[in-house]
Amino acid sequence: MWFVRLARIMRTASFGLAVIYALLFAVSVLILGIIVYWTVQTSLDRQMLTRLDAEIDLLQQEFRSEGLQELLKEVRERTNYFPSLEYLVLDADGHRLVGDLPAIPPGVGWSDVSIPPDARARGGRKFRVRSVILGDGVRLVVGDDLAPMQDIQIAFLEALGWALLAFLLLSLSGGLLISRRFLQHVDTITHTAEAIIGGDFQSRVPLRGTNDNFDRLSHTLNRMLDRIQELMDSLSQVSNDIAHALRTPLGRLRQKLERARASAEVNSTCEEAIDAAVVETKTILDTFSALLRIAQIEAATRSAGFREIDLSKLFETVTEAYTTAAEDQGKAITARITPSIRSWGDKDLLTEMLANLLDNAITHTPPGAHIEVSLVNGGLHAVASVADDGPGVPQAERERIFRRFYRLGRSMRTPGNGLGLSLVAAVAELHGVQLSADDNGPGLRMTMIFDAPQ
């Protein structure tokens, strides 16, 4: 879903850095805008004050040189010539002599006066005025309309706001695009790693040919994977060569021992020694066979042969095959298997996995023990288990029993090479089966969770 991918992109480090950068830049622009706003406002105020001072000085000069009547005449002319300015001349009693400024400032000096909304055609405006006393109580007032300056201030603030909004949107969009590209590279590397984990050791990170940082990183990762592959191949080859090389002479040794045992010249003492040697030779051969088998499974060489199988039938067949062997040792096996549960995998390997679990339960439980095999449909999963009421495994040892050649102290008295559960773990890993060893109270319960039964 698109919103899931968007959430992934927004959680990337690159998007977080883009957001931080955008916020820092926005704060910087906001501070700069405040400084510019204050500078522009100060400059406009200074220009307005300078203009009003010039008007006052000119009219004062006119009053001193020409008198009151000429001043009134000049004010009328300037009212028509400068519509943005407002003039007002009052006599000593406060009566209007000329001018149409509706509001009379309270005193001399600088002040701001507002015209009410219903006051003539110019209602709702605000003026900055300067009032002076000319002589004989005559009072001169000159004001300038603040609306143009306020319009500039509002326009500047709106432009600043839109600019910040546009920058944030562009920054977030750019962050999303950059993060999406970054995430694509990460996903490519992740998919390659998952393919290798799944057994495709030949998988490599594709190169785009741009020779950028990601391409160089991909090239380095591929070189590392090639080197690891070489080391793994060498180690696997050495292990296989050793196993194969030793199996041949050991097989010949076993044949010679069996022929020697069959010889009529062998007395009973020698025959017992030869029998013991044959058993030990077989144990060694079985160990090498198990090691080769585990190596083959861990290499995932059989995953291409997976197909749909009847898991219920497989469990029934293997359980039935081991029931007689358990009864011969005074132990009982019961099955609780839900029919028609299907899964995907290699039938032979899964049979071997279940057989090893049953063999392990039979071998390491005392006479009279009870073993239960179950397979139930858990909805999205099929849950299987092999449980016994034997001595069990201490909690601290449960993770170790899947290691190669690992055996509990009491298990040293029973036959085996410590590879059975290692093979079980390898098959489970190949099939994506969740395998766990749990307490059965008393005894041990081996639980297997198969994905997506059909």
pLDDT digits (tens, 9 = 90+) for 225-253: 888 878 777 766 766 666 666 666 767 77
Q: Does 171 map to a domain?
A: no
Q: Does 129 map to a domain?
A: no
Tell me: do 386 and 263 sit in the same domain.
Answer: no
Q: Quote the tokens at residue 176.
A: 């999303």
Which pLDDT value is given to residue 151? 81
Percent of the chain with pLDDT over 70: 76
User: Of the ranges 31-45, 121-135, 145-159, 320-334, which one carries the lowest mean pLDDT score?
Assistant: 121-135
- Is a pLDDT exceeding 70 seen at residue 179? yes
Say which residues have a Cβ less than 8 Å from residue 84's Cβ, sequence separation at least 6: 144, 145, 148
Tell me: do 287 and 217 sit in the same domain.
Answer: yes
Tell me: do 308 and 345 sit in the same domain.
Answer: yes
Spatial distance between the Cα atoms of 162 and 168, rounded to a whole number of angstroms: 10
Tell me: do 428 and 348 sit in the same domain.
Answer: yes
Chain centroid, CA 25 distance in Å: 26
Tell me: do 325 and 294 sit in the same domain.
Answer: no
Tell me: do 287 and 340 sit in the same domain.
Answer: no
Phi/psi at 157 (nearest 5 deg)? Answer: -65, -40
Which pLDDT value is given to residue 267? 63
Which pLDDT value is given to residue 38? 87
Which pLDDT value is given to residue 119? 46
Domain boundary among 298, 318, 340: 298
Confidence class of residue 173 from pLDDT cuts 50, 70 and 90? confident
Tell me: do 337 and 416 sit in the same domain.
Answer: yes
Q: Does 316 map to a domain?
A: yes
Q: Does 423 map to a domain?
A: yes
* For residues 124-133, average pLDDT: 80
**Residue 346 parent element (H or E):** none
Q: Does 46 map to a domain?
A: no
Q: Quote the tokens at residue 361.
A: 């339960």
Confidence class of residue 161 from pLDDT cuts 50, 70 and 90? confident
Say which residues have a Cβ less than 8 Å from residue 423's Cβ, sequence separation at least 6: 290, 293, 294, 297, 352, 353, 356
- Is a pLDDT exceeding 50 seen at residue 124? yes
User: Of the ranges 73-87, 176-190, 314-328, which one carries the lowest mean pLDDT score?
Assistant: 176-190
Q: Does 256 map to a domain?
A: yes
Residue with tokens 């020698």: 270
Which pLDDT value is given to residue 418? 64
Domain boundary among 278, 298, 318: 298
**Residue 11 parent element (H or E):** none
Query: Of the candidates 409, 394, 396, 402, which has an alpha carbon nearest to the alpha carbon of residue 439?
Result: 394
Tell me: do 249 and 356 sit in the same domain.
Answer: no
Tell me: do 351 and 380 sit in the same domain.
Answer: yes
Domain boundary among 298, 321, 339: 298
Tell me: do 224 and 289 sit in the same domain.
Answer: yes
Q: What angle do CA 115, 116, 117 make, to 5 degrees?
A: 115
CATH of the domain at 232: 1.10.287
* For residues 400-426, average pLDDT: 67
Q: Does 236 map to a domain?
A: yes
**How would you class 215 by CB atoms within 10 Å of its CB: exposed for 0-12, middle for 13-18, buried for 19 or more?**
middle
Tell me: do 249 and 354 sit in the same domain.
Answer: no
DSSP 291-340: HHHHHHHHTTTTGGG-EEEEHHHHHHHHHHHHHHHHHHTT-EEEEEE-TT
Split into its structural domains, the chain has a count of 2
Spatial distance between the Cα atoms of 221 and 192, rounded to a whole number of angstroms: 10
Confidence class of residue 374 from pLDDT cuts 50, 70 and 90? very high
Which pLDDT value is given to residue 143? 84
Q: Does 436 map to a domain?
A: yes
* For residues 193-210, average pLDDT: 78
Task: Say if residues 92 and 138 touch (Cβ distance below 8 Å).
Answer: yes
Confidence class of residue 370 from pLDDT cuts 50, 70 and 90? very high
User: Of the ranges 11-20, 79-88, 321-330, 380-389, which one carries the lowest mean pLDDT score?
Assistant: 11-20
**Residue 203 parent element (H or E):** none
CATH of the domain at 383: 3.30.565.10
Parent domain of 266: 213-298
* For residues 388-397, average pLDDT: 80
Tell me: do 239 and 351 sit in the same domain.
Answer: no
For the full predicted model, state whether its pTM sits above 0.75: no
pLDDT digits (tens, 9 = 90+) for 246-284: 666 767 776 777 776 666 565 666 666 766 776 666 666
Which pLDDT value is given to residue 412? 46
